[in-house]
Amino acid sequence: MKQIPMLINGEWVGNETNEWLPVFNPSNGQQIAEIVRGNKEHVNAAVAAAQVAYERDEWKKVKPFERGQLLINLANHIRENAEQWSKLECEDVGKPISQARADVEAAARYFEFYGGAADKVMGDTIPIEEGILNATVLEPLGVTVHIIPWNYPLQIISRSVAAAIATGNAVIVKSAEDTPLTAHALSEWFAASNLPKGIFQHVTGIGPDVGGPLASHPNIQHVTFTGSLKTGVSVMKAAAENVVPVTLELGGKSPNIVFADANEERALEGVVRAIIQNAGQTCSAGSRLLIEEGYKEEFLSKLTTKFNELTIGPGSEDYDIGPILNKRQYDQIMKKIEVAKSDGKIISGGEAITIDGYEGGFYIQPTIIDGLEHGHSLAQEEIFGPVLTVFPFKDVEEAIRLANSTDYGLVAGIWTQNIDVAHYAASKVKSGQVFINNYGAAGGIQMPFGGYKKSGIGREKGFVALRNYTQIKNIAVKFSI
């Protein structure tokens, strides 16, 4: 049994009380590892070490381009060992191996992108008056905390940690207790690198024991959190007690809006992929289909055929859809499907299945639900599974109204060949990302990602995310002869 320790102050740390938490492979339900059940004392030790490391001359003297080189070296390492990393992510999360490979490449691209940006984080000079030279300088915040979800552990660690280190911060990662394997692999690389000890640390455990104390710690300067709305609100409240900024990504109920003139094959493929990726356990999943009224039955018939052709099985064998993470998630999804059977109409899927040889895994057929009122809870709340709800619209105005009718605003897809309709709808949809005739854009490393409304606060990805981990200092110099 693989035991995963924490990395604190450059040392591998266990639990003096010998408390460990099991980690399971979602594909078969078998235990594959165990992690330290961290506690507040571990959090305090990690924060103290990060403070010291951040203030040391050893870190201050590392030039920006040298920080960048280190991150690019990590990107190269990930690519050179891509299959090993992919197997870890597949085993940990249960997702199809091809999707795990895409996640690994995305992680490498994050470290590469922010490695290249490390020496390009620049301030401005501002004209004031004759005899005053005024400039802004972007300085690191200090100790940043990164609380990671279980569905895309490697990608989400990489996108925030890379930006934070590139700008000169010390980082503490709290991985999800269900999916710690690739976080540990990153920890091993950082521990063996020439990065000063304490600049990258990894703590493990459950949210109340570790995540809460991290978010509320008085000596941190920023929290990045991806997860549920309820937990995100708790993180924000905890950080607010110390006037600490947060970057929150809290999910979505994202629509694909399909007009009758859409390129049918592209739209069908886009709608399917948007809801089945990682078995629908994706914050940006296209979980609502809004379709032009006169085109609904034709499109839905072809969509149902595609759903019925999808394959389901263990991630290692690269079926279209892998397992649900655990029984808790599975029960939640199946409960909502049962509600749909009474309040709406299941037109595809809607059942759990058992895979021979993988009876310990939790598998659900991809499901299409029709006939619900748009105000129904299943149309408003995240299901976080391979479940698509369908609603007709009469015209572009109704499509926009329906798209905007939830508390979320993370991603939207618009499918039409009419450029006027496409741009008009894009301008009116309240969503952090809008895709026209595509959905997701291959990870979009360079694209700012975040949401309107209750989908969160702030943006990750792209150059804009570097500002999350810096603060502006204005310096005004008066000179005269």
* Cα distance between residue 170 and residue 271, in whole Å: 40
Answer for the pair 291, 347: CB distance below 8 angstroms, yes or no.
no
Give the DSSP letter of residue 419.
H
* Cα distance between residue 51 and residue 268, in whole Å: 51
Q: Please identify which of the residues 105, 249, 382, 460 carries the catalytic annotation.
A: 249
C-alpha torsion sign, points 79, 82, 88, 89: positive
**Residues counted in the chain:** 481
In the residue annotation, 83 being an active-site residue is answered as no
Answer for the pair 363, 355: CB distance below 8 angstroms, yes or no.
yes
C-alpha torsion sign, points 421, 424, 427, 428: negative
Residue with tokens 């930006």: 163
Answer for the pair 92, 86: CB distance below 8 angstroms, yes or no.
no
Give the DSSP letter of residue 447.
S
* Cα distance between residue 186 and residue 215, in whole Å: 22
Q: How far is CA 256 from CA 209, 315, 385, 438, in A?
A: 39, 26, 16, 10
Show which residues are catalytic.
Answer: 249
